[in-house]
Amino acid sequence: MKLKYLAFILLATIAVYSCSDDDDDDKHDPVEQALIDDDLLVEFLKSHYINTDKRVDTILNGETSLFDVVDTEDVTYNEINYKLYYYTDFEGSESGKNPSKFDSVQTLYQGFLLDSTKFDENLSFTSSGSWLDLPRTIPGWQYGFPHYKEGDKVIYPDETFGYENTGKGILFIPSGLAYGEFGSGIIASNSILYFYIELGKVQFIDSDRDLVKDSVEDLDLDGDLYNDDTDDDGLPNYADRDDDGDFILTDEEDLDGNGNPADDDTDGDGIPNYIDNDDDNDGVLTKDEDADGDGDPTNDDSDNDGTPDYLDKDS
Ligand SMILES: [Ca+2]
Ligand SMILES: [Ca+2]
Ligand SMILES: [Ca+2]
Ligand SMILES: [Ca+2]
């Protein structure tokens, strides 16, 4: 009787263990999914090519595969490694700007699943949906679009406009850089996507309007705006109008008035004034060179030589 009871407990324990094993198997594993996606993407790229209409098509007669003509970017996102594949049909206007992942793009696009189901598109530069802030799009777009340049704007006789020499290509995006395990609408869980894109125009985003664009406020260039806080006041630079906490607004530290505070460096120490808390390197912090204590160091000029103290090493 006792032995029988023990056997029952053992069986029950084994059952519980195997149950939890099953749970583990069912749980979404983003690392494993990234590997699965990459295998599927490589297989897809090796079995498809760009036809004469510049569309993705199945290889039937030994055409040059997409795999042989795409570029690859290694992306680490949420600590998981991905490969983003992108095809460049045309890089864009020679004088055009590349967006950063922090900027806004005016773009045409068509989005497809690997089975060639189209799930979304914008085919007009004048539609309300043509401008998109990359930080609000899927990571695959944030990492993909910077490889292309905008086009040249043209105004047509009927006063409508368009773009020539647009950046054109296709982004092939693993699910982890798209809608992931949750999917979206008709995009099922863990779907790989590809987008035909045509980049018309780039607009740099400057969230705090201090003349320093968001991409430049990412001082350590790690792709994260939230961990750059020069004056440690808890407000990251991209949202802080006085990045170095010296009581002078960043846009007022643009001494030569060329619209770019990043190229004004009074003491030539390689740190531009707007993130330098001692602009003249005299050992006195700029905020402490406010002699009259009115909260504005720009109107204090002890030796009356026309150079305010905070920029004047001699006073
Ligand atoms: Ca800014
Ligand atoms: Ca700050
Ligand atoms: Ca400042
Ligand atoms: Ca100083």
Residue 12: the pLDDT is 47
Based on the fold, state whether residues 223 and 182 are members of the same structural domain. Answer: no
From ligand 4's centre to the CA of 308, what distance in Å?
A: 10
Based on the fold, state whether residues 35 and 164 are members of the same structural domain. Answer: yes
From ligand 2's centre to the CA of 228, what distance in Å?
A: 8
Based on the fold, state whether residues 198 and 255 are members of the same structural domain. Answer: no
On whether the CB atoms of residues 151 and 164 are closer than 8 A, the answer is yes
On whether the CB atoms of residues 89 and 168 are closer than 8 A, the answer is yes
CA 119, 123, 125, 129 dihedral sign is negative
Asked if the structure places residue 2 within a domain, the reply is: no
- Residue from 84, 79, 205, 191 nearest 147 by CA: 84
From ligand 2's centre to the CA of 229, what distance in Å?
A: 4
Residue 120: the pLDDT is 96
Based on the fold, state whether residues 153 and 58 are members of the same structural domain. Answer: yes
Q: Which ligand is nearest to the CA of 227?
A: 2
Determine whether 280 is exposed, middle or buried from the number of CB atoms within 10 Å of its CB (0-12, 13-18, 19+): buried
From ligand 1's centre to the CA of 242, what distance in Å?
A: 10
Q: Which ligand is nearest to the CA of 208?
A: 1
Residues of the domain holding 240: 206-315
Domain boundary among 187, 203, 219: 203
Domain boundary among 203, 237, 257: 203
Based on the fold, state whether residues 127 and 213 are members of the same structural domain. Answer: no
Based on the fold, state whether residues 74 and 104 are members of the same structural domain. Answer: yes
26-55 burial code (b ≥16 CB/10 A, e <16): eeeebeebbeebbeebeebbeebbbeeeee
Model pTM score:
0.85
Asked if the structure places residue 25 within a domain, the reply is: no
Based on the fold, state whether residues 175 and 261 are members of the same structural domain. Answer: no
From ligand 1's centre to the CA of 217, what distance in Å?
A: 6
Which residues are within 5 Å of ligand 2 (an ion), measured at CB?
A: 229, 231, 233, 235, 240
Number of domains in the chain: 2
Based on the fold, state whether residues 174 and 263 are members of the same structural domain. Answer: no
Q: What is the pLDDT along the chain (315 residues), one digit of tens a residue?
A: 454 544 444 444 444 444 444 555 678 999 999 999 999 999 999 999 999 999 999 999 999 999 999 999 999 999 999 999 999 999 999 999 999 999 999 999 999 999 999 999 999 998 888 899 999 999 999 999 999 999 999 999 998 899 999 999 999 999 999 999 999 999 999 999 999 999 999 999 999 999 999 999 999 999 999 999 999 999 999 999 999 999 999 999 999 999 999 999 999 999 999 999 999 999 999 999 999 999 999 999 999 999 999 999 988
Asked if the structure places residue 144 within a domain, the reply is: yes
Asked if the structure places residue 17 within a domain, the reply is: no
Asked if the structure places residue 215 within a domain, the reply is: yes
Asked if the structure places residue 111 within a domain, the reply is: yes
Residue 314: the pLDDT is 86
Torsion angle of C-alpha atoms 262, 264, 267, 272, degrees rounded to 10: -10
From ligand 4's centre to the CA of 259, what distance in Å?
A: 23
Domain boundary among 203, 219, 242: 203
Q: Which ligand is nearest to the CA of 267?
A: 4
From ligand 2's centre to the CA of 249, what distance in Å?
A: 11
From ligand 1's centre to the CA of 255, what distance in Å?
A: 16
Torsion angle of C-alpha atoms 107, 113, 118, 120, degrees rounded to 10: -40
Based on the fold, state whether residues 65 and 173 are members of the same structural domain. Answer: yes
Q: Which ligand is nearest to the CA of 235?
A: 2
Based on the fold, state whether residues 194 and 273 are members of the same structural domain. Answer: no
Residue 25: the pLDDT is 60
Based on the fold, state whether residues 289 and 195 are members of the same structural domain. Answer: no
The CATH number that applies at residue 134 is: 3.10.50.40
- Residue from 91, 103, 95, 123 nearest 202 by CA: 103
Residue 15: the pLDDT is 46
Based on the fold, state whether residues 305 and 185 are members of the same structural domain. Answer: no
Asked if the structure places residue 6 within a domain, the reply is: no
Asked if the structure places residue 21 within a domain, the reply is: no
